[in-house]
Amino acid sequence: MTKKIEKICGKNFEKLKKHLEKNPKIIVVIAENFDADAVGGSIAIFSALQNAGFCCEISCACDLEKFSFLKNSEKITKNFDEKIFDTAIFVDCGEKKMTGFFDAKPRLLSAEITKINIDHHASNDFFGDINFVEKKMASATMVVFELLKKMEWKISPTIATALLAGIYGDTGSFMHQNTTPEVYFAAAELMRAGANFSKISKNLFRNYEIKTLKLWAKVLQNLHVTPDGAAIVGVEKSDYKKIGANREDLEGIIDFINSIPETKYSVLLSETDDGNVKASLRTRQPDVDVKALAEKFGGGGHVKASGFTIKKSHLQKDVKWKIVSD
């Protein structure tokens, strides 16, 4: 896969190599709209940097309890002193405002910090000073994998498991359309490097708490399909509290909803702690582009899986997004 590595890294690899030779102090930031790809890729590159002797930390503004099965996830902090670092690495983060620290830690995104942007989203705005964005890759972890190989850093079992978790998550357990032959080759290589696939599959797609199942039951009970073939459901903060769940318990349900055969696309609208509404869009139809729909609302993503965030007050009155109720 030498040609693929060269295509991804290109001239930016030399920039990164020279930058790392300065022995920078690095913070790896997990985006607020995190998933297995973002978390797995971030933990993988953090672990590799630590193994290489760099001074680095890893942080996320949100709780990542679901990913506690990944080694080094216990090192993820919710807060850090931004003044200590001169370099920030962002994995699977399409734009600055998705970092989770856009307002709280403005220095992270200022000219004082060297920003390394590793992603695969078509909507990525190349906000990094050094960008590794490959839109044709199945996941950001695939990009991280190729980058680590180019660096000639050893892929330990810890790193391999984190990377495979990201690939497995972003391909929907190897069922989405982005599951290419390259994905299987990468998975096989990571398995040979010691990735714990049974732990990954058990924790990502076969490990649901009672509160999660109760929330899913309520969402599915109130799911409706519009005349034009859109499967839509919405959840408010009060709905989480009634069940003792949180917004993270919704992860995966949009793909489940998207399995309805007669629908054109699926939409999950969920209220965040700050009162905004996050929309997750999915489709399996070859002639439907949900990324184009997301972009109309300032979002983005992939043709078959995208999202956007808007203020609750901006929702059209005729959109019945408050569907989950007693």
Residue 62, number of CB atoms within 10 A of its CB = 17
In the block, which residue shows the tokens 């190989």? 149
Residue 319 lies in a domain: no
233 and 309 fall within a common domain: yes
pLDDT of residue 326: 33
121 exposed, middle or buried (CB, 10 Å; 0-12, 13-18, 19+)? buried
pLDDT per residue as tens digits for the range 248-277 = 889 889 989 998 988 999 999 999 887 889
Which of 164, 181, 204 is where one domain is finished?
Answer: 204
In the chain, how many domains are there?
2
pLDDT bucket at 114, cuts 50 / 70 / 90? very high
200 and 111 fall within a common domain: yes
pLDDT of residue 318: 41
12 and 26 fall within a common domain: yes
141 exposed, middle or buried (CB, 10 Å; 0-12, 13-18, 19+)? buried
Q: Are 128 and 89 in contact (CB under 8 A)?
A: no
Which of 183, 204, 225 is where one domain is finished?
Answer: 204
12 and 52 fall within a common domain: yes
274 and 152 fall within a common domain: no
192 and 306 fall within a common domain: no
> What CATH number is associated with residue 48?
3.90.1640.10
Q: Token digits for 258?
A: 């998207």
pLDDT per residue as tens digits for the range 163-219 = 999 999 999 889 888 899 999 999 999 999 999 999 999 998 877 889 999 999 999
pLDDT of residue 321: 39
Adjacent-strand bridge partners of 278: 270, 309
Higher pLDDT, 34 or 212: 212
pTM: 0.82
Domain range enclosing 57: 2-204
Which of 189, 204, 219 is where one domain is finished?
Answer: 204
85 and 187 fall within a common domain: yes
